[in-house]
Structure 1
Amino acid sequence: MIAPHTPAFWRATLALCLGSFMVFANLYVTQPLLPMIAERYNVTALQSSVSFTIATLTLGLSLLFYGPLSDAVGRKGIMLFTMVGITLTTSCLALTNDYHSLLFLRALQGFFLAGLPAIAVAYMSDEFNADALMIAVGIYISGNSIGGIGGRLLGGFLGENLGLGGTFTVMAGLSLLLTLAFFWLLPPSRHFEPKPLRPKLMLAQMGAHLVNKRLLLSYLIGGLSFFIFVNQYSYITFVLKDSPYFLSSQYIGLLFLTYLSGTYASAISGKLAKRFSQPVCMMAGTIIIMLGSAVTLIPTLLAIIIGLFINAFGFFLTHSTASSWVSLNAQSGKASASSLYLTFYYIGASTGGIYLDMFWHQGKWTAVVEGSWLMLLMILLLGYGLHRLHGISKQTSL
């Protein structure tokens, strides 16, 4: 098994981080361009956000396919196949000129985007020892956040200067380079034990995960947290485009540098979880998001940026610890357990915009924050429930 801080640890972790960067850069590249998409195709804010949420929806549903498949046939080959698919669909996006073609290709791209996220943590569970796993998952999720930042920065800058087609052309070239680097760096699986591909068994495993309260609560915490967090960013782009800020797509893209605090939170989440327990970290992350959302109500650009920095730290602390919790608490079918977590996570992303859109039409950003608080209070209660279960299990083991 791979131990922490060895050459093999850093080689595998770097490969997975590069692959993660590619996936999430492609997923999020349209988010700073939502006002541009709305203007170009003459659609509403909610309709323009579908170019983002349709990819998260097909990604989330496809995770249910890739996780069990990788339990049967292996990890690295499937991840490479899907990375090639991402590169090809991004190339096709560069050639499209109408909104419906954009949506179709983004939906197809979501299918390929699911491959690496569904399998990466399972690969680490196979190859890394327990201490290395907790550290590597935090670093890997940091790669997720850096990919999200990079995609949005590229989307804002390239969209402003090259348009939508030019943005996707550059992303396709970058995706090809990252796929080649991933192929060269990632060590082959040495501890993977294939299991027969049995649909009934897969359904039974997923059913077992869903009735496991320790897993189900973490699924709900991760999904509902992303439900709020990522869609707040979609609506804040429309706030900053209009009076009194009048920011262009290029500068809206820079807004996503606030994810850097989330990168830091992910990297230290393993250490914090060892000290305070993972459920406590999830609850703390939720409270931090509530605080950051409140700060964004101060009507200055600086306050909004500070609030989003706080939000990103809180969200990624919650997400990192919830994801690691699933890997450590799944008794069997670790890939399917991780896939279910990510399915909840991305379905949350694809549906949260509909929930927040109701508040947006009622009272713009102030109402969006109020709607966010309602959901975050529910998440906090779920975290407390998980904390109680964790305490009971510790007492039982003594």
Structure 2
Amino acid sequence: MIRIRSAAWWRATLALSLGSLLVFINLYAPQPLLPDLREAYGVSTLVVGLVMSLATLALAASLLVFGPLSDAIGRAGIMRLSLLAAGLLSLALALAPNFETLLALRTLQGFVLGGLPAVAIAWMGDEFEPDAMLAAVGLYIGANTLGGISGRVVGGGMGELGGSASGFLAVGLITLAGVVLFWKLLPPSRGFTPRRFELAGAVADLGAHLRNPTLLSAYLLGGLNFLIFINQYSYITFRLAAPPFDLGATLLGLIFLTYLGGTLGSSLSGRLVRHLSQPACMMMGIAIFMAGTLVTLSDSLPLILVGLTINAFGFFVAHSMASSWVGRHARQARGSASALYLVFYYTGASLGVFWLEPFWHLGGWRGVALGSWLVLGVTLSIAIWLWRRRPEGAAAS
């Protein structure tokens, strides 16, 4: 097993963090372009939101394939090939002739993007000692935030300079260069024990995870939190693109620098868990998320950005804890257990637009904040339940 802060730990953590960054560059590059796409194609906020929602929904569906498959054939090959396919599809998106083709390619891209997140944490569970895994998960999820920032900044900046095609082209080239480095850095698997893939067995494993209340609670917490977090960013772009702010695509891309709050939160999560239980950290993260949403109600752009930064910090603390909770408490089929967490996570992201859209139409951003607090109240209750019901021997977990 790989020990914390050993040379092998740094190499593996760097590789997985790079892979994570590449996934989220590809997934989120179109988000700052949504207001422009809405105008260019004459569609509603709900329809243009499918550019993001279909990709995340396809990603969620793919996890049900890649997770169990990785328990049978290994995890490294899936991660490498899926990243390669994602980069090639970004190049294809640059050539999409119409909105329908764009949606079809985004859906396919979402599916292949699931290859790395479906198995990365399970790979860590196979190869890392427990304390090494907790520290690596925080850095890995921190790379999620950097990928989200990079994708949106590149997408927004290149989109304003040369249209959406330029953004997709830049992301595709960045991804292919990163895949070469990822391929070289990822160490060979030594702790993986293959299981013969059987559909009935895979379904039984998924059913067992869903019947485990300790895991199911973490699944719901992660999915509902992400339902709010990622879709708040979509609606804030519509708010800030309109008067009195009138921000263009480049500046809308730059608002995602507030994700750096999430980079800090996920990176600190490994230290926080030394002093607080994982459920207590989840509670703290959600409470911070709720407070940040309150700050975004301001009409001051700097305060809105502060609120989004607070949101990102709180969300990623809770997400880091919930995802590592699943990796530590799954007793079997760790790959499918981690994948199922992400199924809930990305399904939440894809459904959030349908939850928040009525609130947006009824009350604008204040309506979005109300819809957010209703869901976050549910996830806070789940975290409190987990805190009260920690498994035996998990006082410090």
Structure 1 equivalent of residue 127 of structure 2:
127
Aligned equivalents of 1:98, 1:396: Cα separation in 2: 55
Aligned equivalents of 1:97, 1:320: Cα separation in 2: 39
Structure 1 equivalent of residue 4 of structure 2:
4
- State the one-letter code of the partner of 2:286: T
- State the one-letter code of the partner of 2:74: G
Contact kept, 8 Å, 2:78 with 2:115, in 1: the verdict is yes
1:51-91 C-alpha deviation (Å, 9 max, x unpaired): 01110000001101001101100111111111111012111
Structure 1 equivalent of residue 214 of structure 2:
214
Shift of 1:108: 0.3
Aligned equivalents of 1:366, 1:82: Cα separation in 2: 39
Aligned equivalents of 1:242, 1:181: Cα separation in 2: 41
Unaligned runs of 5+ in 1: none
Shift of 1:388: 1.1
Shift of 1:358: 0.7
Aligned equivalents of 2:369, 2:349: Cα separation in 1: 16
Aligned equivalents of 1:354, 1:133: Cα separation in 2: 35
Structure 2 equivalent of residue 185 of structure 1:
185
SS at match of 1:275: coil
Structure 2 equivalent of residue 40 of structure 1:
40
Structure 1 equivalent of residue 86 of structure 2:
86
Structure 2 equivalent of residue 351 of structure 1:
351
Shift of 1:152: 0.6
> Structure 1 pair 165/4, CA: closer, same or farther in 2 (3 Å)?
same
- State the one-letter code of the partner of 2:154: L
Q: What's the Cα RMSD here?
A: 1.2
Aligned equivalents of 1:180, 1:100: Cα separation in 2: 31
Query: TM-score, with normalisation over the residues of structure 1?
Result: 0.98
Structure 2 equivalent of residue 393 of structure 1:
392
Matches within 5 A, 1:193-272: 193-272=193-272
Contact kept, 8 Å, 2:277 with 2:395, in 1: the verdict is no
Aligned equivalents of 1:91, 1:157: Cα separation in 2: 17
Contact kept, 8 Å, 2:145 with 2:260, in 1: the verdict is yes
> Structure 1 pair 7/253, CA: closer, same or farther in 2 (3 Å)?
same
> Structure 1 pair 396/15, CA: closer, same or farther in 2 (3 Å)?
closer
Aligned equivalents of 1:7, 1:162: Cα separation in 2: 42
Aligned equivalents of 2:17, 2:177: Cα separation in 1: 14
Structure 1 equivalent of residue 101 of structure 2:
101
Aligned equivalents of 1:13, 1:70: Cα separation in 2: 19
> Structure 1 pair 395/289, CA: closer, same or farther in 2 (3 Å)?
closer
- State the one-letter code of the partner of 2:3: A
SS at match of 1:142: helix
1:174-194 C-alpha deviation (Å, 9 max, x unpaired): 111011001011011011110
Aligned equivalents of 1:396, 1:162: Cα separation in 2: 54
Aligned equivalents of 1:238, 1:182: Cα separation in 2: 36
Structure 2 equivalent of residue 364 of structure 1:
364
Aligned equivalents of 1:226, 1:83: Cα separation in 2: 23
- State the one-letter code of the partner of 1:371: G
1:241-279 C-alpha deviation (Å, 9 max, x unpaired): 011111101001110000001001101112212211000
Shift of 1:359: 0.2
Aligned equivalents of 2:170, 2:302: Cα separation in 1: 31
Runs of 4+ in 1 over 6 A off after TM superposition: none
Shift of 1:396: 10
Structure 1 equivalent of residue 21 of structure 2:
21
Query: TM-score, with normalisation over the residues of structure 2?
Result: 0.98
Shift of 1:7: 1.0
Aligned equivalents of 1:172, 1:233: Cα separation in 2: 23
> Structure 1 pair 190/144, CA: closer, same or farther in 2 (3 Å)?
same
The alignment status of 1:117 with 2:122, answered yes or no, reads no
Shift of 1:97: 2.2
SS at match of 2:217: helix
> Structure 1 pair 360/395, CA: closer, same or farther in 2 (3 Å)?
closer
Aligned equivalents of 2:61, 2:157: Cα separation in 1: 31
The alignment status of 1:171 with 2:175, answered yes or no, reads no
Unaligned runs of 5+ in 2: none
SS at match of 2:335: helix
Aligned equivalents of 1:172, 1:147: Cα separation in 2: 13
Structure 2 equivalent of residue 378 of structure 1:
378
Q: How many residues get paired?
A: 396
1:192-216 C-alpha deviation (Å, 9 max, x unpaired): 1100001111111111110111100
Percent of aligned pairs sharing the same letter: 50
- State the one-letter code of the partner of 2:237: T
Aligned equivalents of 2:149, 2:157: Cα separation in 1: 12
Aligned equivalents of 1:170, 1:221: Cα separation in 2: 34
Aligned equivalents of 2:203, 2:97: Cα separation in 1: 41
- State the one-letter code of the partner of 1:3: R
> Structure 1 pair 100/130, CA: closer, same or farther in 2 (3 Å)?
same
